[in-house]
C-alpha cells in the first residue's frame, strides 16, 4: 500500500497500546457526529473540528508513505529574534496583566527518508507513553507527532478527565521544581478549574502535583475528573486552548502570539484524537513536525513568565526538539 501527500489519511496509536490504526478517506468540516468514535483534528487557536471520514483498519505491516511536495521554508525566528521576543514577554509579565505566554519556534532539518513510515515506526518504538500519529491533509500538509498531553478523555456513562500539564525540565531522577514551573502550572490548573465549574459537574482534582516524564522532558501535572451533560466538543471549545499552550490571560496571549510569531502554528498546539457523541480520547498536539519532500519542520515552545530567563527558555526548546530529532537521526 502506498500513500502520498495527495491522500487523506491518518495512522495512529494510543498511549501504551501496540495496536496501530489506519483511516483513509476524506477530511470534512461539516459533519454530524455519531455514536461511534471518529477521528478529528483542530488547529490553533480555533477549536473548529475537522473530521476524517473513511474506513478504519488495523495496520499489520509497514506502509509506503512518500511526500514529493516541495514547499517554501517555514518562517522561524533566529536565536537573536527568539531571545529578543522572550525578553519582551518577560518584561510584559512584570509590567502588564500578562502572567504567562507560550513562545514557540520551528526547527528545520533535512528530510532524507525515502519512506516516511520508517520515521514513524522508530517514533512508536521509542515512545510508548504518547499518542503517536502520522497524518496527511491535502491542504494542511503531512504531520507526525508524539503527544504526551491529554486534553479530554472518558465517557458520559462514567467520567471524563482532563489534565493541567505545564512546567518543563530536562528529565533526571533528582530533579527539583522551582517557583517558576510551579506557578506556570498553577495558571493552567486555575483556568481549567474555573471552566469546569461553569461547564461541568462533580469536578475533582488531584490534591498533589505529580511529575510526569515525557521522553527526555519532565512536566508538572494535575488531573481533573468531571461529568457533563453538554456535547463533549462544546467542553473542548471552552477549554481549548488552555494556558498550557497559549498563556494567561488566554485572549491577550493569543493576540501576542499571532502578532509576534513569524510562523503559523497550524496543527501545533491544536488537538487530535477520537470523539463521539458520548465519549472522547483527545490530545493536545505537541512534539510534532510538518513534513515535505526536503524538510522536516519541528515545532517546539515553552512558557514564559516573569521568573523566566530567555537563554534558559531557548535551551528548553532545544531539549524538547530531541523527542523527534532522536528518531530522525537514528
Pairing status of strand 2-3 against strand 64-65:
parallel
295: phi then psi, degrees, rounded to nearest 5: -135, 150
**What was the pLDDT predicted at 123?**
96
How does DSSP classify residue 297? E
State which residues form the domain around 169. 2-65+74-328
CA angle (27, 136, 125) in 5-degree steps: 130
The neighbour count for residue 315, using CB atoms within 10 Å, is 13
Residue 206: the pLDDT is 83
Report DSSP letters for 55-104, one per residue.
EEEE--S--EE------PPPP---HHHHHHHHHHHHHHHHHSS--EEEEE
What's the structural domain count of the chain?
1
Alpha-carbon gap, residue 268 to 116, rounded angstroms: 19
Cα gap 101→158, rounded to integer Å: 34
pLDDT at residue 33 greater than cutoff 80: no
- Distances from the Cα of 68 to the Cα of 58, 114, 142, angstroms: 26, 10, 11
Per-residue pLDDT of 97-146, as tens digits, reads 999 999 999 999 999 999 999 999 999 999 999 999 999 999 999 999 99
Question: What pLDDT score was predicted for residue 54?
Answer: 93
- Cell numbers placing 40: 478529528
CATH number (domain holding residue 45): 3.60.120.10
pLDDT band at 56 (very low <50, low <70, confident <90, very high): very high
Q: Are 77 and 16 in contact (CB under 8 A)?
A: no
What whole-number distance in Å separates Cα of residue 126 and Cα of residue 323? 9
Query: Chain-wide mean pLDDT for the chain?
Result: 94
pLDDT digits (tens, 9 = 90+) for 187-213: 999 999 999 999 999 999 987 889 988
Rg value, the chain, Cα: 19
Residue 140: its pLDDT value, please? Answer: 96
pTM score of the predicted model:
0.94
Beta bridge partners of 275: 38, 280
Check residue 174 and give its pLDDT.
Answer: 83
- Judge whether 220 and 182 are in contact, CB under 8 Å: yes
pLDDT tens column, 267-318: 999 999 999 988 999 999 999 999 999 999 999 999 999 999 999 999 999 9
Cβ(100)–Cβ(187) under 8 Å?
Answer: yes
Amino acid at each position: 500500500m502506498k500513500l502520498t501527500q495527495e491522500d487523506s489519511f491518518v495512522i495512529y496509536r494510543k498511549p501504551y497500546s501496540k495496536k496501530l490504526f489506519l483511516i483513509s478517506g476524506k477530511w470534512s468540516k461539516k459533519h454530524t457526529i455519531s455514536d461511534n468514535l471518529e477521528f478529528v483534528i483542530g488547529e490553533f487557536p480555533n477549536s473548529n473540528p475537522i473530521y476524517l471520514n473513511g474506513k478504519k483498519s488495523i495496520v499489520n505491516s509497514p506502509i509506503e508513505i512518500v511526500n514529493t511536495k516541495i514547499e517554501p521554508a517555514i518562517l522561524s525566528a533566529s536565536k537573536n529574534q527568539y531571545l529578543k521576543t522572550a525578553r519582551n514577554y518577560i518584561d510584559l509579565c512584570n509590567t502588564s496583566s500578562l502572567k504567562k505566554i507560550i513562545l514557540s519556534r520551528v526547527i528545520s532539518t533535512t528530510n532524507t527518508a525515502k519512506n516516511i513510515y520508517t520515521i514513524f515506526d522508530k517514533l512508536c518504538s521509542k515512545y510508548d507513553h504518547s499518542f503517536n500519529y502520522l497524518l496527511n491533509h491535502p491542504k494542511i500538509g503531512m504531520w507526525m507527532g508524539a503527544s504526551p498531553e491529554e486534553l479530554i478523555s472518558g465517557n458520559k456513562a462514567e467520567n471524563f478527565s482532563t489534565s493541567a500539564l505545564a512546567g518543563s525540565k530536562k528529565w533526571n531522577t533528582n530533579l527539583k521544581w522551582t517557583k517558576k514551573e510551579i506557578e506556570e502550572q498553577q495558571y493552567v490548573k486555575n483556568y481549567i478549574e474555573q471552566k469546569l465549574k461553569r461547564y461541568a459537574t462533580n469536578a475533582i482534582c488531584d490534591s498533589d502535583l505529580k511529575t510526569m516524564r515525557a521522553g527526555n522532558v519532565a512536566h508538572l501535572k494535575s488531573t481533573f475528573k468531571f461529568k457533563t451533560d453538554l456535547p463533549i466538543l462544546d467542553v473542548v471549545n471552552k477549554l481549548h486552548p488552555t494556558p498550557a499552550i497559549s498563556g494567561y490571560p488566554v485572549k491577550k496571549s493569543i493576540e501576542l502570539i499571532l502578532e509576534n510569531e513569524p510562523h503559523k502554528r497550524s496543527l501545533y498546539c491544536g488537538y487530535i484524537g477520537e470523539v463521539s457523541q458520548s465519549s472522547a480520547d483527545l490530545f493536545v498536539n505537541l512534539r510534532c513536525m510538518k513534513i515535505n519532500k526536503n524538510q522536516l519542520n519541528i515545532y517546539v515552545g515553552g512558557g514564559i513568565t516573569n521568573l523566566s530567563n530567555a537563554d534558559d527558555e531557548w535551551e528548553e526548546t532545544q531539549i524538547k526538539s530531541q523527542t523527534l530529532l532522536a528518531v530522525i537521526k537514528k
